[in-house]
Amino acid sequence: MCSSAVPTGVHRAVRSGPVDVGIGWRQPHYAALLEQLPALDFLEVHSENFFGAGGASLAVLERGRAHYPVSLHGVGLSLGSATGLDPWHLDQLAYLVERIEPVRVSDHASFARGVFQGQVVHASDLLPIPFSTDALDVLCNNVDLVQNRLERRFLVENLSAYITWQVPAGADALAETEFLGALARRTGCGLLVDVNNIYVNALNAAKGDACTDPEAACRTWLDAIAPEAVGELHLAGHCHVHDAHGDIVIDDHGSRVCDAVWRLYRYAIARFGAVPTLIEWDTDVPALDVLLDEAAHARRVCDSVKSELSP
């Protein structure tokens, strides 16, 4: 199968019709977006930037919410932490959800909280968790706590990870897709599938192996995810870093979506259906028109897939 083809069995996709496309709304574009009010289906913001009872940031978000649905995407819940969730963080998220009434709420399959020298610390990063049954139990418990507190379905995103855990001998190791699928089944949560993260991980895994096809590995990853579990898709850019320690691909959200990720997005839409799609851009943020152009590209891809699949 060529890299741009649609997968076998695409008619299993659970959603049809036009896809909702949004952009990550970051501070450099607060004013421009509110002035222009471009044609977008939703905005997505980082939840933690709007914690608190008031202030200028929350006032801006409420102005945006008056014009667009808002999706809240977190980076600090530390869902995979064996030390448990931070009650203050979860309370702040719950207050924000009640105030903004978002269309979706999400965070990552990662951890940041842990115990260091007898104190609970936060790494301020998205650190990978082992794909083991023990780690799955921890993640499921924390996701259940979040969903019960928010009284809604929560989405969990696959991570771009630059290190992996070695599961101890005798422990049950799972593939990432098995791990995420089990999480969705056990908790009823949804999955936020970041297509760029899958590709970044595949590129890093393929280093030095000329026989590995990263795009094929990504299509296999997507094929292993149940369509009904997917609640949102993310698209972003990445960069290649070359230094004394070697070569690595970094998910920096600092450039346009590359051609390979667009091809994989086409494949994902054909498999999963009309899933809400976000354009992320967090570093070297360009003019708003560049993000809007990327959003328009996503619409064209979806329209093309819909046309190809039509009887």
Is 3 inside any structural domain?
no
Is 77 inside any structural domain?
yes
Most confident of 108-122, 169-183, 186-200: 186-200
Q: What is the pLDDT of residue 212?
A: 81
Is 232 inside any structural domain?
yes
Please say whether the beta carbons of 284 and 269 come within 8 A.
no
Is 183 inside any structural domain?
yes
DSSP code, position 114? E
Residue 156 has pLDDT above 60, yes or no: yes
For residue 138, give both structure tokens: 């921890």
Please say whether the beta carbons of 229 and 181 come within 8 A.
yes
What integer is the mean pLDDT of 139-157?
A: 98
Is 4 inside any structural domain?
no
Supply the CATH number for residue 297's domain: 3.20.20.150
**Number of structural domains found in the chain:** 1
Residues 6+ apart with CB under 8 A from 139: 79, 80, 109, 129, 156, 183
For residue 219, give both structure tokens: 């299509």
Is 93 inside any structural domain?
yes
Q: What is the pLDDT of residue 206?
A: 87
Is 244 inside any structural domain?
yes
Count, residues in the chain: 311
Q: What is the pLDDT of residue 120?
A: 85
Q: What is the pLDDT of residue 247?
A: 86
Q: Mean pLDDT of all residues in the chain?
A: 91
Q: What is the pLDDT of residue 310?
A: 77
**Which residues form the domain of 241?**
10-309
Model pLDDT for residues 98-126, shown as the tens digit of each residue: 999 999 999 999 988 888 888 888 888 88
Geometric angle at alpha carbon 61, from 60 and 62, rounded to 5°:
90
Model pLDDT for residues 3-15, shown as the tens digit of each residue: 445 444 443 445 6
What pTM was estimated for this model as a whole? 0.92
Is 31 inside any structural domain?
yes
Q: What is the pLDDT of residue 182?
A: 98
Model pLDDT for residues 28-73, shown as the tens digit of each residue: 999 999 999 999 999 999 999 999 888 999 999 999 999 999 999 9
What percent of the chain lies above the pLDDT cut of 70?
92
User: Quick one: which H or E segment has residue 22?
Assistant: strand 21-24
